[in-house]
């Protein structure tokens, strides 16, 4: 992913020169070569072809069978993977990051390992321990890719909780969190204390095996954040499915209780809020106010959402209410409300409240930059933008080329190639905040 992110820091109110809206006319493409633009056009046409979108995995399997893995892989690298992936090796990722930095963008790396809710359950801790070591290496790589951390000292990395804790455990915790009597057993403070001390925590709704897995998962999460804090890397915890998100939010709250104290210079742990869910504005309001009352720093990545079809299908199968907004327009209104809410909190709390505006939507980016100007939220401060690498270059490059009083972008995520190589997918950030549709 490309993350266009240079943080906006506060200035004392809007400048006297008047507001100049961003232009997304594609003028920034003069900074790209002809080969890059041709590949981008080809990939755009391919991704707009419904049969390829619907049967992509099957076509990939047939390609490997008919052409062999070497030729099939070469075609992927020259097209889809070349467009969206920063590289398979540290050297390739570093070269991509250097190109992005020259365009005013900075990287946001992610280990693309997670467990799907309907996948076969992993049977041992070894898989999660392997993911832990991959994440620790990604923390080091995130820091090593940037000799200078950026305007606001930001080095960011994305974290998937289901790479370190099973979806089965997260579903069990989600069911229990919703019970009134669970508040004492599953309070963020209790879990934070268990993480810090290493002592066992027993939850009555879990089996002995699940309690052992919970303990190991808490240790893994704590170790990643501890290492990230020591390396000055901030962790953005990705949202997943509604059947898991309450448990993920609980674990993030526990990590925040330990690592987002004002004395730690946080927030070091950010949560992701999906505007396509009906209750997002209410949850965001509640969580922001709770963090303020507790004196904790609060970090938010605001996205539209990525699991629309599966969420609606799951609701139909279970006979429950659809948790998502009814249409795209409603999702955009939700995103706009959440964005306004967070920018207001940022303007009031300064560095203790930080935001990534993760959007590919031109109107959302314009709203964010205009409101930042109106609220006096400055460059090199608590707001950044992010888009997926290669997904929305006309927005990322426009943000990357901004001069004061507006912010600049940052860039990169990493995702593995089909041959199970330890590649990364890249996101690129911009001066203000993040990525998605």
Q: What are the pLDDT digits (tens) for 229-248?
A: 999 999 999 999 999 999 99
- Crossing angle, helix 126-145 and helix 90-102, to 10 degrees? 40
Quote the pLDDT of residue 114: 64
Rounded Cα–Cα distance for residues 205 and 185 (Å):
10
Q: What are the pLDDT digits (tens) for 127-160?
A: 999 999 999 999 998 888 876 555 445 789 999 9
CA angle 412, 413, 418 (to 5 degrees): 135
Domain annotation covers residue 437: no
Domain annotation covers residue 9: no
Confidence of residue 436 (pLDDT cuts 50, 70, 90): very low
251 in Cβ contact with 161 (< 8 Å): yes
Domain annotation covers residue 52: no
Confidence of residue 418 (pLDDT cuts 50, 70, 90): very low
Q: Which domain holds residue 124?
A: 104-430
340's tokens: 């306004």
| Section 81-104 average pLDDT | 85
Instruction: Please name every residue paired with 430 in a beta bridge, in sequence order, or none if there are none.
Output: 385
Tell whether the torsion through CA atoms of 44, 46, 50 and 54 is positive or negative.
Answer: negative
Confidence of residue 116 (pLDDT cuts 50, 70, 90): low
Domain annotation covers residue 48: no
Rounded Cα–Cα distance for residues 273 and 337 (Å):
12
Looking at mean pLDDT, say which of 260-274, 324-338, 416-430 comes out highest. 324-338
Quote the pLDDT of residue 86: 85
106 in Cβ contact with 3 (< 8 Å): yes
Note the Cα 29 to chain centre separation in Å: 26
Domain annotation covers residue 372: yes
CA dihedral 87, 89, 95, 96 (to 10 degrees): 20
Confidence of residue 437 (pLDDT cuts 50, 70, 90): very low
Residue 169: HSE in the Cβ half-sphere, 13 Å Cα cutoff: 27
| pLDDT reading at 16 higher than 50 | no
Domain annotation covers residue 370: yes
| Section 192-204 average pLDDT | 87
Model confidence, pTM: 0.85
How many beta carbons lie within 10 A of that of residue 12, not counting itself? 7
301 in Cβ contact with 273 (< 8 Å): yes
Range from 173-182, 187-196, 340-349, 388-397 carrying the lowest mean pLDDT: 173-182
Domain annotation covers residue 96: no
Domain annotation covers residue 8: no
Tell whether the torsion through CA atoms of 331, 337, 339 and 342 is positive or negative.
Answer: negative
| Section 342-347 average pLDDT | 96
Residue 264 is part of a domain; what is its CATH number?
Answer: 3.20.20.220
Enclosing H/E stretch for 256: helix 245-259
Question: In the chain, how many domains are there?
Answer: 1
């Amino acid at each position: 992913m490309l993350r266009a992110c240079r943080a906006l820091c506060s200035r004392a109110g809007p400048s006297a020169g008047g507001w100049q809206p961003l232009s997304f006319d594609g003028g920034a493409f003069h900074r790209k070569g002809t080969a890059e633009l041709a590949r981008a056009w080809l990939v755009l046409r391919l991704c707009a072809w419904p049969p390829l979108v619907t049967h992509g995995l099957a076509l990939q399997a047939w390609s490997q069978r008919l052409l062999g893995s070497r030729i099939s892989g070469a075609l992927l690298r020259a097209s889809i993977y070349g467009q969206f992936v920063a590289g398979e090796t540290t050297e390739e990722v570093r070269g991509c990051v250097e190109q992005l930095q020259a365009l005013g963008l900075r990287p946001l790396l992610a280990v693309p390992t997670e467990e799907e809710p309907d996948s076969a359950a992993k049977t041992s801790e070894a898989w999660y321990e392997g993911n832990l070591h991959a994440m620790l290496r990604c923390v080091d790589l995130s820091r090593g890719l940037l000799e200078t951390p950026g305007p606001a000292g930001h080095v960011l990395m994305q974290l998937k909780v289901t790479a370190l804790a099973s979806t089965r455990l997260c579903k069990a915790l989600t069911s229990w969190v919703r019970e009134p009597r669970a508040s004492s057993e599953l309070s963020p403070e209790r879990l934070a204390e268990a993480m810090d001390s290493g002592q066992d925590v027993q939850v009555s709704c879990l089996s002995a095996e699940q309690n052992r897995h919970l303990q190991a998962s808490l240790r893994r999460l704590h170790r990643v954040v501890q290492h990230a804090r020591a390396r000055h890397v901030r962790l953005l915890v990705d949202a997943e499915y509604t059947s898991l998100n309450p448990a993920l939010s609980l674990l993030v709250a526990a990590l925040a209780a330990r690592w987002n104290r004002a004395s730690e210079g946080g927030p070091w742990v950010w949560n992701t809020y999906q505007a396509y869910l009906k209750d997002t504005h209410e949850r965001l309001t509640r969580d922001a106010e709770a963090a303020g009352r507790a004196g904790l720093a609060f970090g938010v990545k605001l996205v539209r959402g990525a699991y629309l079809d599966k969420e609606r299908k799951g609701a139909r199968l279970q006979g429950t209410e659809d948790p998502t907004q009814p249409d795209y327009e409603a999702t955009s209104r939700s995103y706009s409300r959440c964005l306004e809410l967070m920018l207001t909190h940022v303007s009031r709390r300064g560095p203790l409240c930080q935001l990534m505006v993760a959007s590919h939507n031109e109107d959302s980016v314009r709203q964010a930059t205009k409101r930042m100007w109106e609220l006096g939220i400055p460059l090199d401060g608590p707001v950044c933008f992010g888009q997926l690498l290669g997904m929305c270059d006309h927005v990322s490059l426009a943000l990357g080329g901004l001069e004061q009083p507006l912010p600049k972008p940052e860039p990169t995520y990493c995702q593995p190639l089909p041959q199970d190589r330890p590649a990364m997918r890249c996101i690129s950030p911009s001066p203000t905040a993040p990525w998605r549709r």
